[in-house]
């Protein structure tokens, strides 16, 4: 690798990567519920059948997380992210033509693998290669700020496309965004020739670990397992709340307009939380930062369970939850180099988030089963509360076992 790029190159790199992430998240993640509802109305498919395809995609995204990270460690970030964006565009175009559930499931399954190669984790790994794992904090924080606006920008745009062009036309527009805008930005922004220069080794010093060897070495550290427990627990709680927030708040006594007002708070609160880290805790150790943030999650669940069902009160709780959720995304991106290892960021982080992504796919279904068995969201909130406590315990354990 060549010399470290100058500040101007780095700013362009982060801005281009951030704009691509905004488009990737907006089309590949936030667009699904809107398209799914339009498909259900048009084709008469069941909601369970449609969302089951998304679950398959998320499961495969979890399986693909490690090989994607390892490939980026080997310098294939440009080909991987640009190629996955173009492939995602082709898959969205194919999705626009589906008439059978079997074809729909096949497309969503492969699209899940493309998500594993285009959303936050591979972008974090690309930044770590460009500026070094310990220099990635500012870049990762900036990237999450871009991504935080994805729902605000793309949900109304996709809804407008559905109203004017139908869901098939909207998917073709989303396909063009991925193939042209995202693919182009990833290709031109990610340049392996500008990655940070590797440290020169002493004659008697062993070469840095990579791939499976680096993951095996990380697994010998207690902090690795603490973080894995924390991220799996976080995925279970976050995914369950994301998919069940609307009916949960209706059951708590809010009307539909009140629920929409509450949910509208979460996105801006995530961005606000990330801005707070950038302004007030840009140099704070991740183990201390994360240890303070994780306690918000069980407190938010208690508030959702017991607070009076008023829009202002529930919206305030949702704002704290959203801010903590925005902050924890940054912590996730920085935890590996600051708490586990500075070697093979992509492979180690990919191995950590793989079970997290799988849990993210399973948790909404598990929450639905608990709701059906218990007859209400009280038991679901109890399970989410238990998961939030496990999140706290896992991260605090990792922080305690991290060498300063």
Same domain, 177 and 317: no
> Tell me: the pLDDT tens digits for 311-341?
899 999 999 998 998 899 888 888 888 888 8
In a domain, 167, yes or no: yes
In a domain, 393, yes or no: yes
Q: Quick check: 3 pLDDT over 50?
A: no
401 vs 27 pLDDT, higher one: 27
Domain boundary among 160, 194, 228: 194
Same domain, 129 and 51: yes
In a domain, 264, yes or no: yes
> Tell me: the pLDDT tens digits for 55-84?
888 888 888 888 888 888 888 889 999 999
Q: What is the pLDDT of residue 134?
A: 66
Q: What is the pLDDT of residue 324?
A: 92
Torsion sign, CA atoms 123, 127, 237, 153: negative
In a domain, 2, yes or no: no
> Tell me: the pLDDT tens digits for 216-231?
888 888 999 999 999 9
Helix (H, G, I), strand (E, B) or coil at 122: helix
- Per the listing, tokens 């805790």 go with 281
4 vs 90 pLDDT, higher one: 90
> Tell me: the pLDDT tens digits for 20-38?
999 999 899 888 878 887 8
Please state, in angstroms and rounded to a whole number, the distance separating the CA atoms of residues 125 and 328. 17
Please state, in angstroms and rounded to a whole number, the distance separating the CA atoms of residues 255 and 253. 7
Same domain, 216 and 145: no
Angle at 309 between CA 307 and CA 315, to 5 degrees: 80
Q: What is the pLDDT of residue 336?
A: 85
Question: Of 107-116, 208-217, 234-243, which gets the smallest average pLDDT?
Answer: 208-217
Same domain, 186 and 253: no
Whole-prediction pTM: 0.78
Q: How far is CA 263 from CA 12, 38, 203, 251, 278, in A?
A: 33, 21, 58, 15, 24
In a domain, 204, yes or no: no
Non-local (6+) Cβ contacts of 167 within 8 A are 35, 38, 39, 42, 96
Q: Which domain holds residue 395?
A: 211-400
Mean pLDDT, rounded, for 183-197: 84
In a domain, 82, yes or no: yes
Mean pLDDT, rounded, for 337-349: 81
Name the average pLDDT for the chain: 85
Please state, in angstroms and rounded to a whole number, the distance separating the CA atoms of residues 62 and 46. 25
H-helix or E-strand containing 232?
A: helix 222-251
Same domain, 170 and 277: no
Q: What is the pLDDT of residue 37?
A: 79
Q: What is the pLDDT of residue 20?
A: 95
394 vs 350 pLDDT, higher one: 394
Same domain, 190 and 227: no
Same domain, 83 and 168: yes
Same domain, 107 and 32: yes
Domain boundary among 146, 166, 194: 194
Confidence tier at 2 by pLDDT (50, 70, 90): very low
Q: The domain spanning residue 257 has which CATH number?
A: 1.20.1250.20
In a domain, 206, yes or no: no
Same domain, 164 and 236: no
Confidence tier at 4 by pLDDT (50, 70, 90): very low
Same domain, 154 and 229: no
> Tell me: the pLDDT tens digits for 193-212?
877 655 544 554 454 556 67
Q: Quick check: 368 pLDDT over 70?
A: yes
In a domain, 205, yes or no: no
What is the signed CA dihedral for 372, 375, 378, 379, rounded to 10 degrees? -50
Q: Quick check: 154 pLDDT over 90?
A: no
H-helix or E-strand containing 67?
A: helix 47-73
Q: What is the pLDDT of residue 205?
A: 46
Non-local (6+) Cβ contacts of 26 within 8 A are 150, 151, 153, 154, 155, 157, 158, 177
Mean pLDDT, rounded, for 160-165: 91
Number of domains composing the chain: 2
164-193: string of b/e by CB count within 10 Å (b at 16+)? eeebbebbbbbbebbbebbbebbbebbebe
Same domain, 40 and 162: yes
Mean pLDDT, rounded, for 158-166: 90
Domain boundary among 194, 223, 257: 194
Same domain, 299 and 358: yes
């Amino acid at each position: 690798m060549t010399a470290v790029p100058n500040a101007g190159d780095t700013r362009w790199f982060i801005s281009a990567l951030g704009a691509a992430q905004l488009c990737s998240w907006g089309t590949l993640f936030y667009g699904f519920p809107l398209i799914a509802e339009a498909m259900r109305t048009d084709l008469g498919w069941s909601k369970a059948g449609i969302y089951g395809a998304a679950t398959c995609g998320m499961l495969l995204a979890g399986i693909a997380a490690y090989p994607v990270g390892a490939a980026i460690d080997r310098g294939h970030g440009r080909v991987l992210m640009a190629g996955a964006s173009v492939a995602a565009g082709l898959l969205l175009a194919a999705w626009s033509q589906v008439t059978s559930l079997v074809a729909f499931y096949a497309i969503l399954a492969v699209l899940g693998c493309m998500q594993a190669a285009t959303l936050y984790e591979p972008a974090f790994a690309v930044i770590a290669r460009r500026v070094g794992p310990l220099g990635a904090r500012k870049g990762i924080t900036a990237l999450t700020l871009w991504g935080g606006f994805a729902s605000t920008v793309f949900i109304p745009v996709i809804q407008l496309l559905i109203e004017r062009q139908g869901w098939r036309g909207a998917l073709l527009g989303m396909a063009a965004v991925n193939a042209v805008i995202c693919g182009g930005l990833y290709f031109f922004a990610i340049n392996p020739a500008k990655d940070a220069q590797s440290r020169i080794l002493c004659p008697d010093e062993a070469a840095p670990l990579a791939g499976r060897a680096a993951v095996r070495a990380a697994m010998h550290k207690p902090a690795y397992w603490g973080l894995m427990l924390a991220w799996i627990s976080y995925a279970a709680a976050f995914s369950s709340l994301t998919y069940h927030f609307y009916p949960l708040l209706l059951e708590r006594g809010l009307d539909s307009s009140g629920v929409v007002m509450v949910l509208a708070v979460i996105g801006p609160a995530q961005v606000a939380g990330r801005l707070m880290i950038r302004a007030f805790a840009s140099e704070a150790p991740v183990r201390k930062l994360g240890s303070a943030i994780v306690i918000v999650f069980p407190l938010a669940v208690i508030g959702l369970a017991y607070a009076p069902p008023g829009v202002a009160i529930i919206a305030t709780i949702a704002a704290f939850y959203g801010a903590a959720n925005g902050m924890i995304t940054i912590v996730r991106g920085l935890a590996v180099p600051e708490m586990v290892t500075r070697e093979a960021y992509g492979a180690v982080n990919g191995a950590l988030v793989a079970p997290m992504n799988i849990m993210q796919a399973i948790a909404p279904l598990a929450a639905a089963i608990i709701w059906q068995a218990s007859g209400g969201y009280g038991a679901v909130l109890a399970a989410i509360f238990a998961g939030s406590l496990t999140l706290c315990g896992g991260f605090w354990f990792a922080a305690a076992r991290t060498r300063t």
